[in-house]
Amino acid sequence: EQAALEARVKALLALAESKDSEIGQLKGQLRAMKAQLGMEEELEAEPEPEVEVEAEVEAEVEPEPTQAPAAQGISCDVEAALGQLMEQNRAIRGELSQLKSENRMLKDRLNALGFSLEQQQHLQQHHSERLQSLGMCGGIDPLPASASSREGSSRGSLEDLLSQDGSSCCTLGESQPLSNSVDNLDSESSELPPYGGATSSDDALDASSESEGGPAVGKAGVGGATGTSEVSVACLTEKIHQMEENQHSTSEELQATLQELQDLQQVAQELSNENERLSEERALLLETLCQQGERLDELSRQADCYRAMLAQDGGAMPPLQAGDMGACGGAAGDALGLKSDGRVQELERGYLQLAESAQIEQEQLLGVQQRLTAALHAAENEHAEAESIIQNLKERNRHLERLLEAEQKSKALLAASLEDYQAAVTSGKQESARLKGHLDEERRRLAELYSLHNAGEDLDLCVLLDSARADKERLESMCANVQEELEHSQAEGHKLQTEIEKLSEELNEEKRQCSEMARTLDKLRGELEEKETEIADMKETIFELEDEVEQHRALKLHDNLIISELEGTVRKLQDQTHDYEREIKILRRKLRDESEEWRQFQTDLQMAVVIANEIKAEAQEEIDELKRQLQEEQERNHKLSMECEELKNRRQEEEHQQQAQQQQSRMFKFSPAVERDLAALRQSVVSSRKSSLAAEPSPTVKTLIKSFNSASQVSRGAASAVPTSPRTPLSPSPVKMPPAAAVSPMQVPGTQRCH
């Protein structure tokens, strides 16, 4: 199975390499497309401030990482862990297939992008014509292309965050067909699976549609096509970077899988060590059982010996104090049995405590996991609420920005109109001053005319007066017109000034609201980042706790298996112990019977010993009588020797010496025979004791008497083999030894005292 898993890992690595090659091919296609569009140098030269914003949006809207289908469960059965690894590998394969589908969709989007570039010129021309017609109808000059492009580029970074279909909300009335081609791309991108970079790509496409709408007021068709292709190429580049990141994450997951496999091998080695230790304990228990079995075999052999002894004698003949020895043996067996029972009970208690502690820890860990899961769900809900709030704030901010742009444009128009009116008022004031000077000059001329009239020069006075009156009326009408125009311009200027002040107040209010919303947005982003970090920490904690729970479950399962095996062993041991106890009870009963028979045998043996002692005492009395007779005969011999000393001194000495020698030889021959008999009795007693201890059949009273008789016959035969001399009156009479009996070890000191 490990080889199969390694083969699958190698296959996944090969698939990852093929994905790398596909990514390289896509990069080549992207470079070729850049070369075709002539945008490579511009993309390399221009700074991309929107990438950071898109990265922030991706970080905000990035979905949670795919959780492994199963935690790193460690159990006594390694195959379960390998199955989990196989499930993880299947999940990785699913991700790789998802990447393949994403590559195919990117290729389709490339084709769709080529079609949209072909249609861009016609759309731009139609759009510019419509804007010119709107500008002519409204009396408002269109904005310069440079200003609109600057506004569009300044808007781009904010519109990347606010992905809405609002390209038609501009004040200049951007046309709807312009955004349809890009909306097609948006609809295609919305069909993609919810992967890591889908949001950023959609935002980029929306930003491209809006950035196309803004600069389209004054740009040419080629500039719009360039912007669209630029945004599309940036989107494709971002997609390829995301695929590379996914590839790196896949390789990291494969490395983590290999590391997990190594950990499982280490755990398997630890489990094998634990099995060896348990096998050693089992061997120790089996050794104890073997010792008990040997002890029971020994007791059974002793019982067989006792049965044989009973069958041989027809009575009870165990050795001395055999009942006590049997009782001691039974007590030793009981002690061993109790010791083994105590060991088994101790093991049972230990495993029960271990199981209880494991269950308690598992319950605690499950409770902690439930609490953390609830906290995670709450954090996810808060995260979703924060995202919705951020989205609403983005929409509101975008709307306010558009309103601000419209107000700024209207403010610029009003400022231009105000400058025109101010210039008109200034020119009116200058004209009024000029007319006032002209009026003063005419008054001066009129005064001169009056002076001439008074002087009598009234020839051309009427003509001059009429001409002066006509000039005066003409000048008064002109002055009235100029005065009316001045008042009208002043009223309009005052009105425009009030409108400008009102618009400036509204602008300040909007700026203040925008700053407040920006602060709120930054605060919400900070809170969102904190929540994301907390969620990541909680996920790591949950993963660790799940690993610990799986480890505890595995340990509990392993302990349960060991406990079940030990319980089976304990039941077997208990059954064997009950069988042994029944046999021990039977043997004790037999030993009690045999001990009673043995005590009876002991009384019989003591009776035999008493009889033997009496026979020995009689023999000792006969020996004393013989000694006394010998002493009398010696005295008599001494008297006779004193009488016959003179006649038979030398002969008598020889005879006396010969008789003394014969007597000594008889005495020497008789005493060794007695000592040999006593030694034989001692040896028989010692051998009987040893045989009783070694579970050998002991000689009975009949056999002991027979052996003593045989020993006596041997001694008599040895005595008869010695050449006998004719008895004299002084020679001692032969002593007839009675048959000896076996002497108990308890009676040996008494016999020595009798000697």
- Collapsing DSSP to helix, strand or coil, 244 comes out as helix
The answer to whether 676 and 717 are in contact (CB under 8 A) is no
pLDDT surpassing 80 at residue 622: yes
Calculate the dihedral angle through the C-alpha atoms of 425, 428, 433, 439, rounding to the nearest 10 degrees: -150
Task: Name the average pLDDT for the chain.
Answer: 65
What tokens appear for 386 in the block? 């924060």
Q: How far apart are CA 24 and CA 614, in angstroms?
A: 124
List the single range of 209-223, 277-291, 416-430 with lowest mean pLDDT.
209-223
Residue 276: pLDDT band (50, 70, 90) is confident
**334 near 292, Cβ under 8 Å?**
no
pLDDT at 307: 67
Amino acid 40: pLDDT: 41
Q: Residue 724 has which token pair?
A: 């006998």
DSSP letter string, 447-490? HHHHHHHHTT--SSHHHHHHHHHHHHHHHHHHHHHHHHHHHHHH
Percent of the chain with pLDDT over 70: 50
Q: Which of 229, 130, 221, 238 is nearest to 182 (CA)?
A: 229
Is the CB of residue 319 less than 8 Å from the CB of residue 604?
Answer: no
Place of tokens 């009384």: 603
Q: 63: how many CB neighbours lie within 10 A of its CB?
A: 10
pLDDT of residue 586: 92
Categorize the per-residue pLDDT at 60 as very low, low, confident or very high, splitting at 50, 70 and 90. Answer: very low
> CA 131 → CA 223, 387, 464, distances in Å?
17, 37, 60
pLDDT attached to residue 672? 61
Task: Give whole-number Cα distances, 333 to 28, 203, 340, 343, 696, in Å.
Answer: 88, 87, 10, 15, 22
Helices (H), strands (E): how many in the chain? 14, 0
Residue 142's Cβ-count burial label (10 Å; 0-12, 13-18, 19+) is: middle
Q: Are 134 and 173 in contact (CB under 8 A)?
A: yes
Backbone phi and psi for residue 726, each to the nearest 5 degrees, phi listed first: -60, 135
Single out the residue of 551, 550, 546, 548 nearest to residue 372, CA to CA: 546
Winning range, highest mean pLDDT, from 7-21, 665-679, 719-733: 7-21
Residue with tokens 């980029």: 204
Residue 66: partners with Cβ closer than 8 Å, 6 or more residues away: 91, 95
Residues 37, 226: Cα–Cα separation, whole Å: 8
Task: Express each pLDDT in 240-257 by its tens digit.
Answer: 777 777 767 776 777 776
Is a pLDDT exceeding 60 seen at residue 154? no
| Longest Cα–Cα distance in the chain | 255
The string of pLDDT tens digits covering residues 551-582 is: 878 887 888 888 888 888 888 888 888 888 88
Element (H, E) at 261: helix 221-313
Cα within 13 Å of Cα(368), Cβ side: 16
Q: What pLDDT does residue 567 have?
A: 82
Between CA 448 and CA 454 the distance in angstroms is 10
Q: How far apart are the first and last CA of the chain?
A: 91
Q: What is the DSSP string of 81-143?
A: HHHHHHHHHHHHHHHHHHHHHHHHHHHHHHHHHHHHHHTHHHHHHHHHHHHHHHHHHHT-PPP
Residues 155/214, Cβ–Cβ less than 8 Å: yes
Which residues are within 8 A (CB) of 511 and not within 5 positions of it... i.e. 6 or more apart? Answer: 404
Using an 8 Å Cβ cutoff, are 226 and 257 in contact? no
Structure tokens that stand for 152 in this block: 């569009």
Q: What is the mean pLDDT of residues 212-220?
A: 39
pLDDT score at 569 = 84
Site of tokens 């989107």: 235
CA angle (570 as vertex; 566, 574 as ends), nearest 5: 175
For residue 417 the two structure tokens come to 């109109």
Handedness of CA 256, 261, 265, 270 (dihedral sign): positive
Higher pLDDT, 509 or 665: 509
Poorest-pLDDT segment among 190-204, 448-462, 693-707: 190-204
Token pair listed for 560? 């349960």
Which carries the bigger pLDDT value, residue 591 or residue 347?
Answer: 591
- List helix spans (H) across 694-754: 701-721, 748-754
What is the sign, positive or negative, of the torsion defined by CA atoms of 290, 292, 297, 298? positive
Percent of residues, the chain, with pLDDT higher than 90: 0
More confident of the two residues 451 and 747? 451
Q: 415: closest CA among 499, 509, 485, 491?
A: 499
Tokens in use for 502?
Answer: 């009102």
- E strand spans, 494-620: none
Residues 647, 640: Cα–Cα separation, whole Å: 11
Task: Return the residue matching tokens 């008494």.
Answer: 750
Structure confidence at residue 342 as a pLDDT band (50, 70, 90): low
Q: 325 or 500: which carries more pLDDT confidence?
A: 500
* DSSP states of 52-79: HHHHHHHHHHPPPPPPPSS-----S-HH
Whole-angstrom distance, CA of residue 589 vs CA of residue 702: 28
pLDDT tops 70 at residue 705: no
> How far is Cα 264 from Cα 6, in angstroms, rounded to an integer?
14
Examine the pLDDT at 265 and tell me if it is beyond 60. yes
Instruction: Give yes or no for a contact between 293 and 579, defined as CB atoms under 8 angstroms apart.
Output: no
